[in-house]
Structure 1
Amino acid sequence: MKKITALLFLQLLLISCSGTISTTKKEYAITNSSALKSDWIIDSQKWSLDNNTITGSGSPSKWGILVSKKQLPENYEIDFKVNMTRESLFEIMLHLDKEKYIRTYLYQIDQNIVIGEGTYYKNDDSYGKRGGKTLFKKPMNLENNKTYAVKIKVTENQLHFSVDGQTSLECSLEKSGLSQKGKLGFITNGDVQITDLKIKTL
């Protein structure tokens, strides 16, 4: 009995000290405001959690940015629903490492979902210090005040990004020269609502 108790304690200790946002056989979800504040860095503007809804606010000149404090696992799946209630851009930052990351985003102005190379300088909102170039894109009708289901899956350095289970993009991180490790973040240039966020290790 003592051995079983010690083993369970060790597993809990390893999970709590893990450097990744989710752990083996464990699914991560934000369940309360304290988790949002303790597990994430609110780099600019305002982010809050209420009734399982993460609300973010930014502006075209100063994007609202939320970044996880922990690394994404090597192989993972991210699921959530998003509603852009104001302005045109919602972006999921993947593998943020120093100033570089993978851009996976919904862009209403061009009516596309996109995978691209991103640059993010924490204390600089000037042109060229946020965002980056497009590598892959696919047309999709996008509008405000509509909820979209987003799924991102990374396995064996292969990235799959889909919206509503219909429009999708896929690429090899290695062949595309994209970052293969780093943190997760979200960006908005207006107002956005994120619900049912789940991140699990594969």
Structure 2
Amino acid sequence: MKTKFALFLILQLAMISCSSTISTTKKEYTLNYSKELKSDWTINSKEWILKNDTLTGNGSLSPWGVLVSKKQLPENYEIDLSVNMTKESLFEIMLNLDKEKYIRTYLYQIDQNIVIGDGVYDKKDDSYGKRGGKTLFKKPMELENNKWYAVKIKVLNNQLYFSVNDKTTLEYSLEKSNLNQKGKLGFITNGEVKITNLRIKSI
């Protein structure tokens, strides 16, 4: 009996570790070690590093600093993180990246807004029109450099909820604007950004 239970447990762990999604119903994904960054994400080490539980990205107007997961997001998920835009104006979370299209959720300091948009991402081309995209919905929020913000994203039944500091919130239907309903996760910066407390959970 003990042997059967042990085999069952090993099989379950193997299924979780080999899962094609970045998290499963039995596991929350957190980023704590540099080896996880290398194994779970497609990175340019000049643009993104993980040190002391802090993920730091460096980019410019061209090229942006981009980090993309190797695994799919679950169908329904929550993402929590703390972010600090230490230089420049843009921090973007790419949701459901698939076939060069994704959902843009971002903090934009120049316009002082948080934004949901329809994005395109060509990993081989930094030129205008090949990355980024149109704004669908935005809400004013005072944003500063060198200040930490708590970001929460939830996708449930094709409804997207995007909030910052639990006080400024956007909601949008993925179906209404024909936005991707599956895909990978990514991050973009046009300067320097620091991310801590990243947690991805199936719901």
Letter in 2 for 1:164: N
The whole-number CA distance in structure 2 between the counterparts of 1:182 and 1:199 is 14
Letter in 2 for 1:59: S
Judged with a 3 Å threshold, the aligned counterparts in structure 2 of structure 1 residues 135 and 120 are, in CA distance, closer, same or farther, namely same
What whole-Å deviation, never above 9, does each CA across 1:47-104 have from its counterpart, x for those lacking one? 1111110000000121000000000000110000000000000000000002100000
1:168 match = 169
Shift of the alpha carbon at 1:43? Answer: 4.9
Alpha-carbon shift at residue 23 of structure 1 (Å):
0.9
Confirm or deny that 1:153 pairs with 2:151.
no
In structure 2, the residue matched to 1:12 is 13
1:44 deviates by 7.9
Q: 2:187 is matched with which residue? A: 186
* 5+ residue gaps, structure 2: none
Q: Identity rate of aligned residues, in percent? A: 73
> Aligned partners of 2:98, 2:175: CA distance in 1, in Å?
16
Which amino acid letter does the alignment assign opposite residue 52 of structure 2? N
| 2:39 aligned with 1:34 | no
Q: The residue matched to 2:160 in structure 1 has which SS?
A: strand
1:45–1:65 Cα contact (<8 Å) kept: no
The range that moved more, 61-70 or 41-50, is 41-50
Give the whole-Å Cα distance in 2 for the aligned partners of 1:96 and 1:35.
Answer: 20
For residues 19 and 25 of structure 1, what CA distance do their matches in structure 2 show?
14
The Cα RMSD (Å) is 0.9
Distance in 1, Cα, partners of 2:138 & 2:9: 46
2:24 is matched with 23
**CA deviations over 1:157-202 (Å, ceiling 9, x no partner):** 1100000000010011111211000000000000000000000111
Distance (whole Å) between structure 2 residues aligned to residue 178 and residue 154 of structure 1: 12
- 2:201 maps to what in 1? 200
Q: Distance in 1 between matches of 2:34 and 2:199?
A: 16
Retained in 2: the 8 A contact 1:49–1:55? yes
Alignment-derived partner of residue 103 in structure 2: 102
Matches within 5 A, 1:94-133: 94-133=95-134
Task: Letter of the 2:196 partner, please give it.
Answer: T
- Cα deviation, residue 31, structure 1: 1.1
Q: TM-score, normalised by structure 1?
A: 0.98
Structure 1 contact 75–156 (Cα < 8 Å) conserved: yes
Structure 1, unaligned runs of 5 or more? none
**Structure 1: 4+ residue segments shifted above 2 A:** none
Q: Deviations over 1:5-37 (max 9, x none)?
A: 111011011101100000112110111111111
**8 Å CA contact 1:78, 1:198 repeated in 2:** yes
Q: Which amino acid aligns with 1:126?
A: S
Would the aligned equivalents of 1:44 and 1:64 in 2 still touch at CA under 8 Å? no
TM-superposition CA deviations, 1:123-161 (whole Å, max 9, x none)? 100010010000000000001000000000011111000
SS state at 2:43 partner: strand
How many residue pairs match? The answer is: 202
Q: Which amino acid aligns with 1:197?
A: L
